[in-house]
Amino acid sequence: MNPQELTIENAQEMLQKYYGYPDFREGQKKIVASLLEGRDTLGIMPTGGGKSICYQVPALLLPGLTLVVSPLISLMKDQVDALTTAGIPAAYINSTLTGKEVNERIRAARRGELKLLYVAPERLELDWFRLEMAELSISCVAVDEAHCVSQWGHDFRTSYLAVSPFVEELPERPILAAFTATATPEVMEDMLRLLRLRGPGVFVTGLGRDNLAMSVLRGENKKEFVLEYTASHAHQPGIVYAATRKEVDDLYQRLRNAGFAAGRYHAGMSDDERAESQEAFLYDDIRVMVATNAFGMGIDKSNVRYVIHYNMPKNMEAYVQEAGRAGRDGEPSQCILLFSAQDIMTQKFLIEQNPQDSERKQNEYRKLQQMIDYCYTTRCLRSAMLDYFGEVHGDKPCGICSSCTDERELVDMTVDAQKIFSCIHRMRERFGVALVSSVLKGSRSQKVLQYGFDKLPTHGAMSGRTEKEITEIVNVLISEGYLALSEGQYPVVRLQQPAAEVLRGQREVRQRVARPSRPSAGGRD
Ligand code: ADP
Ligand code: ZN
């Protein structure tokens, strides 16, 4: 192949010629242009956003080889097969090959016969491999799943730390391109620092795919909901994620008993069973897949119409990744999170069970709290999600999420909020949500009496509501930033600046919550 002019027009031509797509997606175009200018680039895109094309198309135009660092051996083969089928000269080197095969591929690269070479990060740590690579003309190093370099992310891989020394050691420094779907500020900072990107272009795009209608449903009967929902969407492919194997098995049985074409997937099944189940889902032999989060990595099924979370995931990164498996084809799809307070207990239990240092633990608790905040927010869910990931957006409500479509009227909750803030203040900001709620309810439990909280003027100040309702209101106030929880297993609820303004009567609080339950005129209802 002759060297070509590095213009976006030429890139477009390649896209058309090899992939048959008429145009880049908005996010792709900026990333491709940045790479063609020779700039280090960090591209943040949701799973299914089309990251691969962002480095594969430049690879076709750049004079030398593009080395792709990819963490999953199984994905490597799929990618290379797809490229080869499209007529793009590509290969991979990994532990499944014999020494002879590896040598053949390196020789092919040396002869300039390859445009893309996929390797696992561990390989960059091998001396002989680095020496071989130094002999080649490498134009670009593309790092896939770049968040693996960060300890803050959800799947840290030590070998990603070898990427930067490897790149710096090459005789000519290639362009460095990094891609991920994870964009929290800490992870982003780590990627820029640990991969040592130089003056990079950073592009965050498309996290809020506008075909996805996000919902959070609190207080549903989850089992009934799943049975009804799958029944009314019986002809559409969907995924139901549950937190534990036991729950997956249970839901799966129920769906089966109800006559649905359901499959299941979790780490307790044999490799064969899992592979079979996955195939059946890909080929539409089963409609609904009930699974733990073990299911999904690397699955490219474009027509998933709904993803239901039976339990709240551990953090927003995990949620967005899993929910993002819906609607990859751009057609309207639903992402539904069924939330219950029990989910918080489960996630805390899992954090405590996992042996890790205290800094990491604190970090997980913080992320968990942000996930809980998402479940309680009354804001547009898509805006809340984009804010979390730092994506710039116009703050325009999406119009299709469960907040945007909530028809309950906004109720002035200022007086209730004042009662809550005042009670927390009088309890010296030293207790958790549960005790604050029971004091406001007017409970005379042993703990309330022991601390003398029955003598507080706010004791029983909200006796017209149930303790559950009060907790619900407090949780919404937390998610809206009036209150904050300390970190750790037993968080203490504290007042924040906006709460002081509410107490001084300088600010109103509006929430979409059920009004206090009143006995109806006709007696029992
Ligand atoms: P990611 O690596 O971000 O998960 P992929 O690169 O696998 O995403 O792309 C996801 C899907 O979108 C693939 O089926 C791909 O062919 C398709 N796709 C990517 N870019 C375009 C484009 N510009 N036009 C149409 N389809 C595209
Ligand atoms: Zn919305």
Distance, CA 302 to ligand 1 centroid (Å)?
Answer: 10
522 pLDDT band (50/70/90 cuts)?
Answer: very low
Distance, CA 388 to ligand 2 centroid (Å)?
Answer: 14
Task: For ligand 1, atom 17, name the residue with the nearest CA.
Answer: 50
Residue 392, pLDDT score: 65
Mean pLDDT in residue range 47-63: 92
Give the model confidence (pLDDT) of 469-480 as tens digits: 999 999 989 888
- Judged by its nearest atom, the ligand closest to the C-alpha of residue 44 is 1
- Judged by its nearest atom, the ligand closest to the C-alpha of residue 382 is 2
Mean pLDDT in residue range 445-474: 95
Mean pLDDT in residue range 191-203: 93
Residue 395, pLDDT > 90, answer: no
16 DSSP assignment:
I
Ligand 1 atom at shortest distance from the alpha carbon of 21: 24
Distance, CA 398 to ligand 2 centroid (Å)?
Answer: 4
Distance, CA 333 to ligand 2 centroid (Å)?
Answer: 14
Distance, CA 337 to ligand 2 centroid (Å)?
Answer: 14
418 or 188, higher pLDDT: 418
**pTM for this structure?**
0.69
Ligand 1 atom at shortest distance from the alpha carbon of 144: 2
Lowest mean pLDDT of 106-110, 153-157, 228-232, 264-268, name the range: 153-157
* Closest alpha carbon to 49 in 238, 210, 239, 284: 210
- Judged by its nearest atom, the ligand closest to the C-alpha of residue 20 is 1
Ligand 1 atom at shortest distance from the alpha carbon of 47: 4
Residue 207, pLDDT score: 67
What are the CA-CA distances from residue 194 to residues 40, 70, 118, 138, 317 (Å)? 14, 17, 21, 21, 20
- Output the CA angle 207-213-215, nearest 5 degrees: 105
Task: For ligand 1, atom 23, name the residue with the nearest CA.
Answer: 24
Q: Which two tokens stand for residue 217?
A: 């449903």
Ligand 1 atom at shortest distance from the alpha carbon of 53: 6
Task: For ligand 1, atom 24, name the residue with the nearest CA.
Answer: 21
27 pLDDT band (50/70/90 cuts)?
Answer: confident
Mean pLDDT in residue range 171-187: 88
Residue 302, pLDDT > 80, answer: yes
Ligand 1 atom at shortest distance from the alpha carbon of 54: 6
Distance, CA 238 to ligand 2 centroid (Å)?
Answer: 22
3-state SS of the chain: helix, strand, coil percent to 5? 45, 15, 40
Residue 520, pLDDT > 70, answer: no
Distance, CA 402 to ligand 2 centroid (Å)?
Answer: 7
Task: For ligand 1, atom 27, name the residue with the nearest CA.
Answer: 50
Mean pLDDT score of the chain: 90
Q: What is the DSSP string of 27-71?
A: HHHHHHHHHHTT--EEEE--TTS-HHHHHHHHHHHSSSEEEEE-S
Task: For ligand 1, atom 4, name the residue with the nearest CA.
Answer: 48
Ligand 1 atom at shortest distance from the alpha carbon of 302: 14
427 pLDDT band (50/70/90 cuts)?
Answer: very high
What are the CA-CA distances from residue 280 to residues 69, 99, 264, 306, 350 (Å)? 30, 35, 10, 17, 31
Mean pLDDT in residue range 136-155: 89
Residue 521, pLDDT > 50, answer: no
Spatial separation of the C-alpha atoms in residues 95 and 105, rounded to whole Å:
13
* pLDDT over 70, % of the chain: 94
Residue 234, pLDDT > 50, answer: yes
- Judged by its nearest atom, the ligand closest to the C-alpha of residue 330 is 1
Residue 300, pLDDT score: 72
Residue 119, pLDDT > 50, answer: yes
Residue 99, pLDDT > 60, answer: yes
Distance, CA 381 to ligand 2 centroid (Å)?
Answer: 5
Residue 445, pLDDT > 70, answer: yes
Mean pLDDT in residue range 182-190: 80
Residue 53, pLDDT > 50, answer: yes
Residue 103, pLDDT > 90, answer: yes
Task: For ligand 1, atom 6, name the residue with the nearest CA.
Answer: 50
- Residues lining ligand 1, CB < 6 A? 21, 24-25, 28, 45, 47-53, 300
Task: For ligand 1, atom 13, name the residue with the nearest CA.
Answer: 50
Spatial separation of the C-alpha atoms in residues 345 and 280, rounded to whole Å:
34
Strand runs labelled E in 205-361: 212-218, 238-241, 262-265, 288-291, 306-309, 333-339
- 140 sits in which H/E element: strand 138-143
Residue 70, pLDDT > 80, answer: yes
Distance, CA 51 to ligand 1 centroid (Å)?
Answer: 7
Residue 525, pLDDT > 70, answer: no
- Judged by its nearest atom, the ligand closest to the C-alpha of residue 380 is 2
The answer to whether the beta carbons of residues 333 and 210 sit under 8 Å apart is no
393 or 54, higher pLDDT: 54
Which of 55-59, 204-208, 330-334 holds the top average pLDDT? 55-59
523 pLDDT band (50/70/90 cuts)?
Answer: very low
Mean pLDDT in residue range 472-496: 88
Distance, CA 192 to ligand 1 centroid (Å)?
Answer: 25
Mean pLDDT in residue range 96-109: 95
ipTM of the complex: 0.96
Residue 71, pLDDT > 70, answer: yes
- Judged by its nearest atom, the ligand closest to the C-alpha of residue 145 is 1
Residue 519, pLDDT > 70, answer: no
Mean pLDDT in residue range 183-194: 85
CA 250 to chain centre: 25
Distance, CA 179 to ligand 1 centroid (Å)?
Answer: 14
Ligand 1 atom at shortest distance from the alpha carbon of 23: 23
Residue 425, pLDDT score: 96
Total residues found in the chain within this entry: 525
Mean pLDDT in residue range 116-123: 96
Residue 446, pLDDT > 70, answer: yes
Residue 206, pLDDT score: 66
Ligand 1 atom at shortest distance from the alpha carbon of 19: 16
Q: Which two tokens stand for residue 82?
A: 């797809």
Give the model confidence (pLDDT) of 341-388 as tens digits: 889 888 989 899 887 788 888 888 988 989 999 998 888 999 998 888
Which of 82-96, 206-220, 342-356 holds the top average pLDDT? 82-96
